[in-house]
Structure 1
Amino acid sequence: MTKDVIALTPRMPDPAALLVALAAGGTELDVAVTGEGAVLQLVGAGGRPLVSVEAPVLVQVPGEVERLLGTPSATPVWWTETRASTAVPEAGELAGAVAGRLAEVLGGFVWPRGAGRVAPVAVTSEVSAAPAPEGALPTVDVVTESTAVVLADRPLVPLTAWLSDVLRTTAGFGAALQIVTPGHCRLSLPLRTALTGAPNRWVVRDPECGYYDGLSGAVLRWQDGTFTPDRDGAGQSRPAQAFQQVDDSGERRLTVSFRTSRPAEEELLLGGALETVWRALTGEPPSGWGTAEPVNLPWSPRQLTDLARSRVPEPTLITVVGGPGRPGLATVRVSRTSAGVEEDVVLSLGYGSSEPVPLEAVAGLAETLAGGHGLISMLVTVGPGRRDLSLAPRLVAPPLPVSFTLGGDGVAEVTLTHARRPPLVVRPVQVGPSKRPGLHYPLGDGTDPGAWEALESLLSHLRASGPAGSHGPGPDPRGRG
């Protein structure tokens, strides 16, 4: 039985329906509330959590259920996620019974198919009487002084609200989040981005080497309460054989990473630059946005702006998705700076082996963003990657640069004369307003590995003239974050 079971219902799970569902464990189990009221738990004797029921989410974005679960569903639909403890053998069936009863009372269905049941589940294991460890995080499987370990086994592991909370909590304590999955699991792009950089890790179980890092391929071992690279006598880590299996499907991923800054005026509306890029590359606006997965809200720059304002001075991190016809995902970080409001955006679009990547639209994007959206910089790359934008624990060649654009402020800092004369064969194109122009530097068509040397040469040239390095692209240009 899977550990995660989801009820998808056309009606909202009200208190009465939740009480019926929670009765699946009989009268001997207690109900506890945690996560500031957002999580209900069925607990055994001594307070041992057996099943956690997350707050229901109304998913209004078409295609989002199918993206995450592989199961088509009409929208809007209420998504109620249950998570079973791995310490109790009966907990998986109990989670299925809770979700099954919700679906029975409210209509709808349970994912995965066949996991739901309506008969009560008796919990007889002695481990149910063991108390929860002091300070344990809800729904986390193992907690040590340095690491929170989450065990997951579903085809696609997303950055859910509870997982995002665990990540924030562990970061606040200076601890790591390490997600352990079987080799057949994939990560969603937002979760992969959130796990970038040690000590956070994606740990993959492997019958040959035990465990390996799903992002780097390094063989891992459990030592001193955390997963660390298994190093040889020379201090070098060794790669897992399973990680070396290269995907040759021909599918590709176009990534547009850009940063904008505009004055913090009352009429400022966020998300406009992202929507402009999305329309130019796909012909449609984004479909939805949210702070976790599933992305549940229809696209609305106004609501996005209101949320970011409510969180000042703290930054706001959101996920944006496209329609099912063209897989698209973006992460947006909104920050208040001394200069105004900054949006740091990484947009990825997926393409099949026979689908053309719209690189011809990139030059026009540079002109539009530099002219009316306060562009600081933009980097465009294309490389291999699944069309659905999920990540498998396999080796993937890095993307190749297509172009780099430096906005008007950056060009002014290094001087237009210097910025116009990079050590490149192709000359830059002036973009944006003539009084404070930006420069667009074509680097290649996404097939020449030499484009990396051209980009590094360009950035070194720009930094050599002053503080232009502060205007470099936000994410790792080689596509690792």
Structure 2
Amino acid sequence: MTKDVIALTKKMPDPLSVLAGLLSGGPDRLVGAEGDGAVVRLHDEQGRPLVSVEAPLLVQVPGEAERLLGASPPEVPYWWTEARATTGVAEAEALAGTFAARLATLVGGTAWPPEAALSLAVVKTDGVSAAPVPAAAQPAVDVLTDKVAVVIQDRPVVAMTAWLQDAFRAAANAELGLQIVTPAGTRLSPAVRNSLPGWPSRWVVQDEQDGYYDGLSGAVLTWSNGLFVTVESPDATREDPRTPVAASFKEGPLEEGDTGERQLAISFRTVHPADDRLVLGGAVEAVWREITGEEPAGWGTEEPANLAWSLRRLTDVAYERTPEPTWLVVVGSPGRPGLATVRITRTKGGVEEDVTMSFGYGPGEEVPHDAVPAAAEVLATRHDLQSMLVQIRRARRDLSVPPRFEGPGVPYAFVLGAEEVREMPGDRARRTPLAERPRELGPKTRPALYYPLPGDPSDLSGWQDFQRLMKHLRGGTGR
């Protein structure tokens, strides 16, 4: 049973159209607005919400509906309007479907999923019981305990929507974990995967055979004392705390054979001097151009990424949010899958950009190995690079994260910024325990250093070389 229904319309839903959709519950339903009007809710007579509707989002980036919903949207630009039904109330789900159907009919467009938005009829709601007030107070949270907030998502790809961001924020402020529960066929956007905190937060996958398991580790889970926890093996000991792994999780590339799909994963940090003339996002754009030959297609402060790529607009948003950090998602064109998450933070050292990006390649497509040193040099010479790690993974071309074992990435290169090299005592940064000497990037008087690593997805020994290098650079022997 779906909880989210989305209308994709060519025209902006006007207030009368939205109201007409909300009144699908009949005259005894009450409408309320929260979050400065950003969220509109359909309440029952006790004031408890049945359906919450997010403000329409103008999407100017091609490929987002296909990436996140598998849906065919109108041509860009189009409007994306999400309605979320209160969990466990069948009539609420019907209300959300009716709302989306009426909206698509009134202003022109389609609704996702199609089967949830077939009826325009008024839904009978007599005797409906909504979620308890504490859980319903946060539209993205379905179950709230003293340990975790639980979010149930039934969509092809769990995206970092405004609602899910609210759930992350609310859980963090309350010092709770966040547990996302999905059906077996659901995948995560890398933006969600990169943002998921550590324990007790986790991705919980429903499974016919094992009940529930962790979508990232495969550990079989059970609900106990207000949260999902791992199931211990009967013969587990303190020294060997064995945890059963779900059979469904093991059905990954290692059992199916190498599909030929690869991901090039790049994470880096830049630290810029604080300056009113500073333009942000240039480092992401520079790497994107070197790796793909084109600039990013779009960006946003949530998913779907809705804004056409613009360094100036991105910079303006970050400055408006200072001193609070700014989180961004950046996406590529449909023909070359690429996604980055960016966190911009004002610190004593300046303005930091922490970037994690991935690019996907299918069978027969070559990972652009030769472009990696060029991207590193651009970062080192023009964008105040502090450090950079490049990995290659056997993983999906579309970059989404399945609840299956894909195997870890392996290090392909590490880069140390010029300032970090300069601060190293003596010749430590150049004389390492690795077989191959580092390459100098940038001016010889103040170079950054590029350390090549094996980068073979079938050989995890590259991590041993990486660990030796890190130990050496931190002052250990590395041997």
TM-score scaled to structure 2, two decimals? 0.94
Q: 1:228 to 1:452 in 2, by over 3 A?
A: same
Residue in 2 that maps onto 1:108: 109
Distance 2:34 2:260 in 1: 46
Question: Cα distance, 1:299 vs. partner?
Answer: 0.7
Residue in 2 that maps onto 1:12: 12
In the alignment, structure 1 residue 426 sits paired with structure 2 residue 413 = no
AA of the residue aligned to 1:246: G
Q: Could you tell me whether the CA contact under 8 Å between 2:135 and 2:144 is conserved in 1?
A: no
Equivalence map 1:45-194=2 (5 Å) = 45-73=45-73, 74-116=75-117, 117-128=119-130, 132-133=133-134, 136-194=137-195
Residue in 2 that maps onto 1:256: 266
What is the SS of the residue equivalent to 2:129? helix
AA of the residue aligned to 2:200: P
Q: How big is each residue's C-alpha offset from its partner over 1:214-237, in whole Å with a ceiling of 9 and x where there is no partner? A: 111111111111111122452523
In the alignment, structure 1 residue 234 sits paired with structure 2 residue 237 = yes
Q: How big is each residue's C-alpha offset from its partner over 1:178-237, in whole Å with a ceiling of 9 and x where there is no partner? A: 111111111111011121411211111112221111111111111111111122452523
Question: Cα distance, 1:86 vs. partner?
Answer: 2.0
Equivalence map 1:399-414=2 (5 Å) = 399-414=409-424
In the alignment, structure 1 residue 296 sits paired with structure 2 residue 306 = yes
Question: Cα distance, 1:65 vs. partner?
Answer: 1.4
Question: Cα distance, 1:416 vs. partner?
Answer: 5.7
In the alignment, structure 1 residue 323 sits paired with structure 2 residue 333 = yes
Q: Could you tell me whether the CA contact under 8 Å between 1:85 and 1:139 is conserved in 2?
A: no
Distance 1:85 1:126 in 2: 11
AA of the residue aligned to 1:201: R
In the alignment, structure 1 residue 388 sits paired with structure 2 residue 388 = no
What is the SS of the residue equivalent to 1:336? strand
AA of the residue aligned to 1:190: A
Q: Could you tell me whether the CA contact under 8 Å between 2:7 and 2:80 is conserved in 1?
A: yes
Of 335, 358, 362, 1:348 maps to 358
Q: Could you tell me whether the CA contact under 8 Å between 2:266 and 2:356 is conserved in 1?
A: yes
Of 311, 315, 319, 1:305 maps to 315
Residue in 1 that maps onto 2:464: 453
What is the SS of the residue equivalent to 1:319? strand
Give unpaired runs (5+ residues) of structure 2: none
Q: Could you tell me whether the CA contact under 8 Å between 1:87 and 1:127 is conserved in 2?
A: no
Q: 1:438 to 1:131 in 2, by over 3 A?
A: closer
What is the SS of the residue equivalent to 1:180? strand
Greater shift after overlay, 440-449 or 289-298? 440-449
Q: How big is each residue's C-alpha offset from its partner over 1:422-478, in whole Å with a ceiling of 9 and x where there is no partner? A: 001111111122222111111124344221111111111100079xxxxxxxxxxxx
Question: Cα distance, 1:38 vs. partner?
Answer: 1.4
Q: How many residues align?
A: 465
Q: 1:215 to 1:445 in 2, by over 3 A?
A: closer
Distance 1:268 1:152 in 2: 39
Q: Could you tell me whether the CA contact under 8 Å between 1:212 and 1:220 is conserved in 2?
A: yes
Greater shift after overlay, 138-147 or 341-350? 138-147
CA RMSD of aligned residues (A): 1.7
AA of the residue aligned to 2:286: T
AA of the residue aligned to 2:137: A
Question: Cα distance, 1:134 vs. partner?
Answer: 7.5
Q: Could you tell me whether the CA contact under 8 Å between 1:405 and 1:441 is conserved in 2?
A: yes
Distance 2:376 2:88 in 1: 53
Q: How big is each residue's C-alpha offset from its partner over 1:328-351, in whole Å with a ceiling of 9 and x where there is no partner? A: 000111111222111111110011
Greater shift after overlay, 225-234 or 86-95? 225-234
Distance 2:367 2:136 in 1: 49
Distance 1:94 1:139 in 2: 17
Q: 1:223 to 1:360 in 2, by over 3 A?
A: same
Q: 1:455 to 1:43 in 2, by over 3 A?
A: same
Q: Could you tell me whether the CA contact under 8 Å between 1:178 and 1:200 is conserved in 2?
A: yes
Q: Could you tell me whether the CA contact under 8 Å between 2:391 and 2:455 is conserved in 1?
A: no
Distance 1:32 1:299 in 2: 35
AA of the residue aligned to 2:124: A
Q: Could you tell me whether the CA contact under 8 Å between 1:146 and 1:176 is conserved in 2?
A: yes
Distance 2:132 2:144 in 1: 14
Question: Cα distance, 1:35 vs. partner?
Answer: 3.3
Question: Cα distance, 1:257 vs. partner?
Answer: 0.8
Question: Cα distance, 1:47 vs. partner?
Answer: 2.2
AA of the residue aligned to 2:23: A
TM-score scaled to structure 1, two decimals? 0.93
Q: Could you tell me whether the CA contact under 8 Å between 2:280 and 2:314 is conserved in 1?
A: yes
Q: 1:352 to 1:196 in 2, by over 3 A?
A: farther
What is the SS of the residue equivalent to 2:265? strand
Q: 1:134 to 1:105 in 2, by over 3 A?
A: closer
Distance 1:131 1:227 in 2: 20
Distance 2:455 2:319 in 1: 39
Residue in 2 that maps onto 1:201: 202
Greater shift after overlay, 346-355 or 310-319? 310-319
Q: How big is each residue's C-alpha offset from its partner over 1:130-167, in whole Å with a ceiling of 9 and x where there is no partner? A: 76348832242111122111111111111100110111
Question: Cα distance, 1:305 vs. partner?
Answer: 1.0
What is the SS of the residue equivalent to 2:40? strand
Q: Percent identity of the aligned residues?
A: 53
Distance 1:134 1:367 in 2: 50
Equivalence map 1:456-471=2 (5 Å) = 456-464=467-475
Residue in 2 that maps onto 1:475: none
Greater shift after overlay, 445-454 or 274-283? 445-454
Residue in 1 that maps onto 2:281: 271
What is the SS of the residue equivalent to 2:11? coil
What is the SS of the residue equivalent to 1:286? coil
